[in-house]
Amino acid sequence: MINRTALTSLAVVGISATSWAMAAPVRALTLLSKPTVIDSTPSFNSSYDVSFALDNNLLTDYVSLGGDVNTFIDFDFGSSVLISRVDYTDRASSGVSNGTGGGGDFDNVTSFDLIFSSDSIFGNLDDTIVSVNSPGYANTDVVFINGGNGITARYLRWDVTSVLNSGSNSGAAEFDFYTSTPEPSIIAGLLAVSSIGIFSRKRRG
């Protein structure tokens, strides 16, 4: 069965943040290596290639060729990995030269799906879909997946579901992906609780 979860947005220090739990996770986050793009909506031209969505530059954009709500990017992490947070930065150069920033909101993406999959076939039963509202433009959406506990997947599709204006050249300035592990204090607490349980069972025995 395809799992689907909708997220609502809240503003945190000027960034649009979204979370299943609506709270920061008590987990240590580690930035993942950039995945490989295996498919995407065709780019407007080579000056707006999809590689710009992974170039660590918030001013350079991937721009689709009139992709509108049909814009997507498929990512391959190379092996199954726990994905706990996804940062998406909307286009910064709408209406201006790529890399200059200061663009307008015409091509703003207003919502999108993050589709997690164990294989590169999207739309089958192993998918988990996280739907995200993104009302701002040229902003960064910080999406905590499953309250920061994450979803394990090898493949991830970013799939635009709504835009501000019909006929837009939807796209992205940047994506970052994070994995997570429990904070040491949490691990210590769990071990302590486990030890208490073992001690109690020994006393009862």
Spans in the chain with pLDDT lower than 50: 8-23, 186-188, 190-205
* CA proximity to 149, closest of 182, 191, 113: 182
Locate 93 and state its tokens: 């150069």
Q: How far apart are CA 22 and CA 74, in angstroms?
A: 27
- Residue 60 has a pLDDT of 97
- pTM score > 0.85 for this model? no
Q: How far apart are CA 147 and CA 31, in angstroms?
A: 17
Q: How far apart are CA 190 and CA 31, in angstroms?
A: 25
Residue 35, C-beta contacts closer than 8 angstroms, at least 6 positions apart: 54, 75, 76, 77, 78, 156, 177
Other beta carbons less than 10 A from residue 47's beta carbon: 13
Other beta carbons less than 10 A from residue 57's beta carbon: 15
- Residue 21 has a pLDDT of 35
DSSP state of 166: T
- Residue 200 has a pLDDT of 38
Q: Which residues of 111-123 are buried (b: 16+ CB within 10 A; e: fewer)?
A: bbbbbbbeeeebe
Query: Rounded to whole angstroms, what are the CA distances from 68 to 44, 92, 94, 116, 136?
Result: 12, 16, 13, 22, 17
Beta-ladder partners of 145: none
